[in-house]
Amino acid sequence: MKFKIFKEEPEILDNCRVFIGGWHGLGEIGYICVSHLVQEMKLIRVATIMSSGAPPFISVQENQLRLPFEIYSKQNSDIAVFIPHLQPYRHVQIEFSEKLSEWILSHKTFEVAYFIGGVDSRLKVSDQSLQYIPSRMFKSYTGVSEKFRNEIATNLLDQGLFVAGPLAIMLGYLDMNLFPAIGLLAYAERERPDPLGAVAAVEKLNNILNLSIGTEELIKNAQLIEEEIKRQLAPIEETNRDSQTRRIYT
């Protein structure tokens, strides 16, 4: 499978130490969250990924082509946000996810990765807003507070549940390579995009990374966001209708 990173703003990207990614999983939580980060933080595209695993669809946004896999950041920020506007083809998801993980490992300035996903809201049994799935090295990562460490320890992903898709592949690959990474899994509706569920993930990133990203637009425009995501995904879902299987936790 072809996989190549095209750096459009290398001087910005090469200063990033935090990688954030979110996929199209349960409730579209990851995709909604990273899209909201890009909009609210006014990030610019700093790199694109060219891959034979990309579905053959592009669109136009803010007077430029929007490609399937993009990375955003900005001057004086140490955060790089990966947005997959579409999922890689299912038969190459493992290889694509491993190559993206290899790039994170090779990009010497990255020191931690956060992956945003969803977990079925029907499993919520307390007032907790997220469940966590950390790599081994994240447990000793010094870039987070002791309070957050304790929160992770008491809100680990329930035993017996599974994480699926690119998020699972990347977390597993980075864990094997002893890199600090963690999945932040917000409770989400199972059968539809859930912007309200993404609010918890955004607020947690605010807390972890000392950001001040508002969530008012997610709440205000929840229905519009759901409709837009469904519209975006319609072509690829139609193409893959016969091969689609139900997602679990991603």
Which residue in this structure is represented by tokens 């006014």?
42
| Host domain of residue 90 | 3-243
pTM of the model: 0.88
Q: Is 249 contained in some domain?
A: no
Amino acid identity for residue 198 in this structure: A
Structure tokens belonging to residue 185:
């899994």
191, part of any domain:
yes
Q: What is the DSSP string of 149-166?
A: HHHHHHSBPPTT----SH
CATH code for the domain in which residue 115 is found: 3.40.50.10900
Q: Give residue 248's pLDDT.
A: 45
pLDDT at 249: 47
Mean pLDDT by 10 residues, the chain (250 residues): 93 96 90 94 96 85 87 96 92 95 96 95 81 95 93 89 91 97 92 85 95 88 71 58 45
Mode of pairing for the β-strands spanning 79-84 and 69-73: antiparallel
Residue 241 pLDDT: 53
Position 47 in a domain: yes
Q: Where are the beta strands (DSSP E) in 67-217?
A: 69-73, 79-84, 112-120, 130-134, 181-188
Query: Residue 248 falls within a domain, yes or no?
Result: no
202 in any annotated domain: yes
Measure the CA–CA gap between 163 and 185, rounded to whole angstroms.
Answer: 10
Domain membership flag for residue 250: no
The number of folded domains in the chain is 1
